Chains A and B, each alone.
Chain A
Amino acid sequence: MSTLERDPREGEVRVLDENGDVVGDAPDLSAEELLAMYRQMKLARRFDTRAVSLQRQGRMGTFPPMSGQEGAQVASAMALADDDWVVPSYREHAVSLVRGVSLERTLLYWMGDERGSRMADGVNVFPVAVPIASQIPHATGMAWANKLRNDDGTPDAVVCYFGDGATSEGDFHEGLNFAGVFDTPNVFFCNNNQWAISVPRSKQTASATLAQKADAYGFEGVQVDGMDPLAVYKVTEEALAKARDPDKGELRPTLIEAVQYRFGAHTTADDPSVYREDAEVEEWKAKDPIPRLERYLRGRDLLDDDRVADIEESVETEVADAIEAAESTTRPDPSSMFEHVYEEMTPELRAQAERFADLRERYGDEAFLDD
């Protein structure tokens, strides 16, 4: 069989099938952890839905939704240790949430407020990267630094998230190649949601899988069912263990290709009906990670109707509170745009800031707001 004819998903790791029945080795997670995973996925879904409607109502700018991708995001993020780092793209709202970035902060960013890019101290999450794949070399550098700084041979890991489209950029190649050469403690987590805006995965590369690209860098590539949170947890946990403490002769980095689907538009500015069929969307919706995990948990008596209703209610409140907090945040002081450009303002910048203050005083803020 030629590479192109091979079923690209034949080697994929799975734990749950589409009905939530166990078909592989489940990871070692407590009842509490499993319920937390479920709740975070429900929270992410509700957040996503509300965020899209905020945009529709003119209360927020363009937003990239992630519905369908909660399983891959929540489960992979839960596999990290406290000191590990996350380097996200722009769609990792649920990863960030799990790693301690508040929903309010995520909303602020998409509401056009720079303070949404300032992660709280102690939260090991890098700012969102919008230019595709540009964050991948950063993640390699961060992991490299962890390795150089580490004394006991088990450096903290750095997980980098990006999409299927990102694998076509030069930065993907350079970041992964450095990782192989310098044997850095990285997990490269590709959220293959089948589409890069309107370009399908099949047009992005002639490779049968994205995971196989790791072969060229000399380290392991794994394909996992990205809508199966337990399988995602398992492969991420294994990759992290290897990143910190590889076996003899084994390289630390792993490329994980989490095969999944974006249920919604690329962003609120996109109309997917122009380029993809509803039937395809429906087919993937049958693999929705949330009901899948829910059926598994119900089957083990960890969830019932009452508990699901409780979770739904608390999630609703949590999202509403975050929206309320973000919307009641005073808009940033316009003069703050001159801050943080340098440690110390240059004379030219200071002059511009003064000129700006002078114009505001003379003409009032209304003068800036009309067009």
Chain B
Amino acid sequence: MSTRQTEPTQNLTLVQSVRDALATEMEADDDVLVTGEDVGKNGGVFRATEGLFDEFGGDRVVDTPLAESGIIGTAVGMAAMGLKPVAEVQFSGFVYPGFDQIVSHMARMRARSRGRFTLPMVLRAPYGGGIRAPEHHSESKEAFYAHEAGLKVVIPSTPYDAKGLLISAIRDPDPVIFLEPKLIYRAFRGEVPEGDYEVPIGEAAVRREGSDVSVFAYGAMTRPAMEAADRLADDGVDAEVVDLRTVSPLDREAIVESFEKTGRAVVVHEAPKTGGLAGEITAIVQEEALLYQEAPVQRVTGFDVPYPLYAMEDYYMPNAARVAAGIEEAVEF
């Protein structure tokens, strides 16, 4: 989606555009409130809620006790009563005390109550590796949530998408898990409209058109995917890069359309290989485009090991070189 020329824009980082989305929706809708650890006076440990406490006050930008089950469980209760809580968990690695609330209630309140109670809530959390963070601060566990019926799982990779997708998530009548790739929170800036706009949940974006091989990526992995594609262009490989943007529901149409064009695919994620989204994407092309397939689908992912402390994380995280190796294997098959 491109911005209309007439609209005023601002040059923001991804984390600033998250903040901008929150401010925009809080301004427009009194039912929206932000809760979490250190989101108030401190403005969030990544400054994703900076200034919101001063602007909207302590009743709408709430520093909670240190308790994720409390944060997520109370958001479920507030959402059931018609508020639109945007709960922050400080790092995705600290969601787990609230996991019961996510899988037992957040995901299925609509189904359990046969539609009487719906949960227009968002759970935001920074996720992913590459920033030399301490233990438990770098994991990518999007597959947990994608596995859970009733949740939508969104992962932006640009400032523009972050704002538009978060606004869509807040307005969505169903609960959304919004995972923010903290490696690229401040890695680059992009033009972001000042006003409100939606980027639809469930729609992938083709970041680079190509005809030889499809590279499917999301979050912070979109960058090494693009870089690998650029590098291999010099060798005459024309790679298409598809940024999934939502990992549940996956944009099956976009995946199939790209694969039918190229017949070869590389799927990239930081999350471990086994049980990761790459397996799901591989199954989609098998189910819907088998006859177009010309090579085994390559999975370039994290390994099936606990995310290592940072001395080894560069070896764990897929990067342009590993993506390029995957692309080469797909095209040379």
Contact = CB atoms under 8 A, between A and B. Distances in A.
Contacts of A332: 311-312
Interface in B218-251: 224
Top 8 closest pairs, chain A to chain B, by CB: A112-B310, A198-B42, A367-B321, A168-B65, A165-B66, A112-B311, A334-B315, A112-B309
Interface stretch (A19-27, A126-134, A256-264, A292-300): A126-134
B141 interface: no
A199 B63 contact: yes
Contacts of B68: 169
Contacts of B322: 359, 367-368
Given A274-B43, A338-B303, A369 B314 contact: yes
B28 interface: no
Interface stretch (A71-79, A150-158, A182-190, A348-356): A348-356
**Chain B contact residues: over half helix, strand or loop, or mixed?**
loop
Nearest to B183: A371
Contact of B66 (A132, A356, A370): A132
Given A336-B312, A370-B321, A169 B45 contact: no
B45 A269 contact: yes
A173 B330 CA distance: 52
B30 interface: no
B37 interface: yes
Given A199-B63, A205-B65, A62 B94 contact: no
Given A131-B93, A332-B312, A370 B319 contact: yes
Contacts of A170: 67, 69, 97
Given A170-B97, A274-B43, A370-B319, A128 B135 contact: yes
A270 interface: yes
B133 interface: yes
Contact of B132 (A61, A132, A270, A331): A61
B219 to A, nearest CB: 14
**B interface residue count range (under 10 / 10 to 19 / 20 to 34 / 35 or more):** 35 or more
Nearest to A171: B97
A341 B302 CA distance: 14
24 contacts: A61-B310, A62-B132, A110-B134, A112-B310, A113-B309, A128-B135, A130-B137, A132-B94, A168-B65, A168-B66, A169-B69, A170-B67, A197-B38, A198-B38, A198-B42, A199-B38, A204-B65, A205-B65, A332-B311, A336-B312, A337-B305, A349-B305, A356-B303, A359-B322
A168 B321 contact: no
Contact of B134 (A90, A134, A166): A90
A115 B310 CA distance: 12
B186 interface: no
Contacts of B274: 348
Nearest to A338: B305
Interface string A177-214: 00000000000000000001111000111000000000
B200 interface: no
Contacts of B97: 131, 133-134, 169-171
Contacts of A168: 65-67, 70
A133 B94 CA distance: 11
A172 to B, nearest CB: 9
A363 B70 contact: no
B273 interface: yes
Contacts of A255: none
Interface in B287-333: 303-306, 308-316, 319-322, 325
Interface of B: 37-38, 40-43, 45, 63, 65-70, 93-94, 96-97, 130, 132-137, 224, 273-274, 303-306, 308-316, 319-322, 325
A114 interface: yes
B65 A197 contact: no
B253 to A, nearest CB: 31
A196 B305 CA distance: 31
Contacts of B312: 112, 114, 332, 334, 336-337
A111 B65 contact: no
B309 A109 contact: yes
A312 B274 CA distance: 53
Given A62-B134, A275-B42, A356 B65 contact: no
A112 B313 CA distance: 9
Contacts of B134: 61-62, 90, 110, 130
**A interface residue count range (under 10 / 10 to 19 / 20 to 34 / 35 or more):** 35 or more
B2 to A, nearest CB: 28
B302 to A, nearest CB: 10
A256 B68 CA distance: 24
B113 to A, nearest CB: 25
B67 A352 contact: no
Interface string A340-367: 0100001011001100100100110001
Given A337-B316, A359-B325, 12 more contacts: A112-B132, A114-B312, A128-B135, A131-B93, A170-B97, A171-B97, A275-B42, A341-B306, A367-B321, A367-B322, A368-B321, A371-B319
Nearest to B65: A168
Contacts of B305: 337-338, 341, 349
A334 B313 CA distance: 9
Nearest to A58: B132
B132 A199 contact: no
Contact of B320 (A111, A128, A338, A371): A371
Contacts of A134: 97
Contacts of A337: 303, 305, 308, 312, 315-316
Contacts of A348: 273-274, 304
Contact of A203 (B63, B67, B94): B63
A137 to B, nearest CB: 12
B96 A368 contact: no
A59 to B, nearest CB: 12
A342 to B, nearest CB: 10
B246 to A, nearest CB: 25
Contacts of B137: 130
A154 B42 CA distance: 47
Nearest to A352: B303
A203 B58 CA distance: 12
A56 B170 CA distance: 38
Contacts of A205: 65
Interface string A116-153: 11000000000010111110000000000000000000
A166 B63 contact: no
A354 B191 CA distance: 43
